[in-house]
Chain A
């Protein structure tokens, strides 16, 4: 039981990270109707920028951890958001009215560009950082000595996710931008006729998605203590699986799907085999799409002629 609880905690933390990435997929899919294949790599870029900012701050003699974290978070979000904006501008906007597969292929190309750009710019080796946030709480110690740990970093990941989700939900449901986004999701032409700047709204969608991916990148860096240029691929597919599982286009669904994938992966590693944890996650994607193509909270896709 203790082991189970510990895995539950680990799974929720991992799931929060997946959920943050999944939101980017689900938003873009909802509005533009394409899979932003490069999104996982935007997450990787976010991790790298966090790492570099952190290094610079430390070498300037900054020691206050909370201050460092806030600065790293802001810088990483800002620059990664600009990456998202640029990617949309270069690779997706010219193809918006092209045939259906074109943006997808362009996105795959963009993903290669980002991965290999990072490899060329920062080298192929894994970049570790020393643990920044240490300590934690012992929740329960069983008779045979098994300890349920809740580390501070885990608390931070989950708290950050919750706060960001709250801000984000407010943004989508209460602000002008959110209203524009929902309008574009329903009907871009009509939205444009009613005075919504569709181009700007789509750009903002990418910017927000990339900023959330940057947060996920920072959380990943803090939680696992390393980044490498290839981490975006698998994380990206899993986050996409999460978005599909939760019902693509649905924001709470993305978070729910992220948590589900995180939990499934953690429990699979804990009780079955670590080697096949990715196989488990990908199999779930296939199974979900067969039996529940709309996901947990998604709306059925209307077939238009």
Chain B
């Protein structure tokens, strides 16, 4: 945590070296007080329940020194780049180049993804990682309908993911229903829960909505933990059947796909199959979202995001608009959940914590809220970044939190800002949506 120096009103651009040192010293002093007890002293409960402590002044000193150095670097960078608020003019040549690249990123990425199982056929780790990334791409696209298009901040998205996962897990283990039957059911059930959540929160907006969805997510998780007869409680559900290729199992048996095709069996077949299943599901999500955006309902979502009061004044039924957004987003979450269950073969409430919701939300926000490509890239960056930090398990979430704060400060609209409504007046208007507070007109 590097305290960022004052957002001084008097020009920090021209601040000299003494002022710079003063700021850095001030920040270091603050850091010293903040970390003195939390870092300088380490407590631990001994075996007899007695608390002991030892000092860590070395770590404390290096942390304070890091803050001191960091403040100087940040301040210098700030003077070099200029005020962060100012709009920078991008030269047209660069802009054209960017849009040229932008046009081809999506097809290239899609092509690469389609070929991934072929290229990395022998590298199971990469395929597994690809499946994970695609799951989050799908979740991100699903949540994008609610947050990015309709502008409803949903902090409990993981609840629908959980509903989908448990729907499939319980239907499959108790009744032996196949994945392909359960998949739509999981989606419908999740959508049903989405509507159920949607009804009470229709009148709420912004922050209240966020907290209620968060509470809803926690309620679902707590019920899953405590309703042991149905869900197995904290132990979860295990032995969830693997998906079949439309009835043909992907195993080593005589009925298996490999035997039918007359090729040698390999466990990789299933991984590749799973890869294409989640890719298809994710692309379905994307396609449906893109199509919906062109329908009146999609337009209504965007209108709702831009200005709820104006929306109502224009005769848009905000109730159904919000409900459909919730239901659609939840349905995709349910699909992803069912896929998650069949891929893991085991699910427990551990997988559906608030952190998961925050991660998906961070993907959507980082991706620029509303941009399909942005969300996909953000999921890739996020999950890929998580994998890179895998060895630093404990620091991972810390870095994630810091990144979230920094991104909000640096680019609140996401890395690939794309919040422009699909329809807009071609003539320049005096008032842009940026000048108007969300939902408040």
**Residues on A close to B: CB < 8 A?**
29, 34-35, 45, 48-49, 51-53, 55-56, 59, 75, 79, 82-83, 86, 89-91, 93-95, 98-106, 108-123, 125-129, 233, 237, 240-241, 244, 273, 275-276, 278-279, 282-283, 285-287, 289-290, 293, 303-305
**Residues on B close to A: CB < 8 A?**
1-4, 6-7, 30, 33-39, 41-45, 49, 51, 53, 84, 153, 155, 200-201, 203-204, 206-208, 210-212, 214-216, 218-219, 222-223, 225-226, 309-310, 354-355, 358, 361-362, 365, 394-395, 397-398, 400-405, 408-409, 412-413, 434, 437-441
Selected A-B contacts with CB under 8 Å, 18 pairs = A82-B34, A83-B34, A86-B34, A89-B4, A95-B409, A95-B412, A100-B438, A101-B206, A105-B404, A109-B402, A116-B401, A117-B1, A119-B394, A121-B38, A240-B211, A286-B215, A290-B203, A305-B441
Q: Do B222 and A276 have beta carbons less than 8 Å apart?
A: yes
Cα–Cα distance between A34 and B1 once the two chains are bound (Å): 22
Q: Do B33 and A99 have beta carbons less than 8 Å apart?
A: no
Q: Do B408 and A105 have beta carbons less than 8 Å apart?
A: yes
Min distance, Cβ A126 to any Cβ of chain B, angstroms: 7
Min distance, Cβ A272 to any Cβ of chain B, angstroms: 12
Nearest B-chain residue to A53, judged by Cβ: B37
**With A52-B53, A116-B401 in contact, do A35 and B211 touch (Cβ < 8 Å)?**
yes
**With A105-B404, A116-B397, A121-B39 in contact, do A86 and B204 touch (Cβ < 8 Å)?**
no
Q: Do A93 and B226 have beta carbons less than 8 Å apart?
A: no
Q: Do A112 and B42 have beta carbons less than 8 Å apart?
A: no
Cα–Cα distance between A60 and B51 once the two chains are bound (Å): 15
Cα–Cα distance between A104 and B204 once the two chains are bound (Å): 16
- In the bound complex, residues from chain B placing their C-beta under 8 Å from that of A287 are 200
Cα–Cα distance between A117 and B395 once the two chains are bound (Å): 8
Q: Do B51 and A99 have beta carbons less than 8 Å apart?
A: no
- In the bound complex, residues from chain A placing their C-beta under 8 Å from that of B412 are 95, 98-99, 102
Nearest B-chain residue to A109, judged by Cβ: B404
**With A100-B437, A105-B408 in contact, do A79 and B34 touch (Cβ < 8 Å)?**
yes
Q: Do A100 and B4 have beta carbons less than 8 Å apart?
A: no
- Contact of A56 (CB < 8 Å), options: B33, B41, B402: B41
Which A-B residue pairs are the 5 nearest by beta carbons? A109-B404, A112-B401, A113-B401, A116-B398, A282-B215
- In the bound complex, residues from chain B placing their C-beta under 8 Å from that of A305 are 309-310, 441
Min distance, Cβ A238 to any Cβ of chain B, angstroms: 10
Cα–Cα distance between A292 and B216 once the two chains are bound (Å): 18
- Contact of B408 (CB < 8 Å), options: A75, A102, A303: A102
- In the bound complex, residues from chain A placing their C-beta under 8 Å from that of B42 are 121-123
Cα–Cα distance between A125 and B394 once the two chains are bound (Å): 13
Cα–Cα distance between A43 and B183 once the two chains are bound (Å): 43
Q: Do B1 and A123 have beta carbons less than 8 Å apart?
A: no
- In the bound complex, residues from chain B placing their C-beta under 8 Å from that of A289 are 200-201, 204, 208, 212
Cα–Cα distance between A93 and B212 once the two chains are bound (Å): 25
**With A279-B219, A282-B218, A289-B204 in contact, do A86 and B30 touch (Cβ < 8 Å)?**
yes
Cα–Cα distance between A282 and B37 once the two chains are bound (Å): 34
Min distance, Cβ A90 to any Cβ of chain B, angstroms: 5
Nearest A-chain residue to B39, judged by Cβ: A121
- Contact of B3 (CB < 8 Å), options: A53, A90, A237, A290: A90
Nearest A-chain residue to B357, judged by Cβ: A108
Min distance, Cβ B94 to any Cβ of chain A, angstroms: 26
Q: Do A90 and B1 have beta carbons less than 8 Å apart?
A: yes
- In the bound complex, residues from chain A placing their C-beta under 8 Å from that of B34 are 79, 82-83, 86
Q: Which of A86, A93, A123 has the most CB of B within 10 A?
A: A86
**With A113-B402, A115-B397 in contact, do A55 and B43 touch (Cβ < 8 Å)?**
yes
- In the bound complex, residues from chain A placing their C-beta under 8 Å from that of B310 are 305
- In the bound complex, residues from chain B placing their C-beta under 8 Å from that of A48 are 37-38
Q: Which of B51, B403, B439, B440 has the most CB of A within 10 A?
A: B51
Q: Which of A114, A127, A282 has the most CB of B within 10 A?
A: A282
- In the bound complex, residues from chain A placing their C-beta under 8 Å from that of B3 are 86, 89-90
Cα–Cα distance between A303 and B261 once the two chains are bound (Å): 65
- In the bound complex, residues from chain A placing their C-beta under 8 Å from that of B397 are 112, 115-116
- In the bound complex, residues from chain A placing their C-beta under 8 Å from that of B218 are 237, 278, 282
Cα–Cα distance between A121 and B43 once the two chains are bound (Å): 9
Min distance, Cβ B101 to any Cβ of chain A, angstroms: 27
For the complex with contacts A56-B53, A98-B412, 20 further pairs of A-B residues with Cβ separation under 8 Å are A55-B53, A82-B30, A82-B34, A94-B409, A98-B408, A100-B207, A105-B404, A106-B405, A109-B362, A112-B400, A113-B398, A116-B397, A123-B44, A128-B45, A237-B211, A289-B208, A290-B200, A290-B201, A303-B440, A305-B441
- In the bound complex, residues from chain A placing their C-beta under 8 Å from that of B6 are 89
- In the bound complex, residues from chain B placing their C-beta under 8 Å from that of A55 are 41, 43, 51, 53
Q: Do B211 and A91 have beta carbons less than 8 Å apart?
A: no
Min distance, Cβ B154 to any Cβ of chain A, angstroms: 11
- In the bound complex, residues from chain B placing their C-beta under 8 Å from that of A282 are 215-216, 218-219, 222
Q: Do A99 and B438 have beta carbons less than 8 Å apart?
A: yes
- In the bound complex, residues from chain B placing their C-beta under 8 Å from that of A110 are 401, 405
Nearest B-chain residue to A238, judged by Cβ: B215
Q: Do A94 and B4 have beta carbons less than 8 Å apart?
A: yes
Q: Which of A108, A278, A293 has the most CB of B within 10 A?
A: A108
- In the bound complex, residues from chain B placing their C-beta under 8 Å from that of A275 are 222, 225-226
Q: Do A125 and B44 have beta carbons less than 8 Å apart?
A: yes
Nearest A-chain residue to B63, judged by Cβ: A121
Nearest B-chain residue to A56, judged by Cβ: B41
- In the bound complex, residues from chain B placing their C-beta under 8 Å from that of A126 are 45
- In the bound complex, residues from chain A placing their C-beta under 8 Å from that of B441 are 304-305
Cα–Cα distance between A56 and B53 once the two chains are bound (Å): 8
Cα–Cα distance between A223 and B226 once the two chains are bound (Å): 26
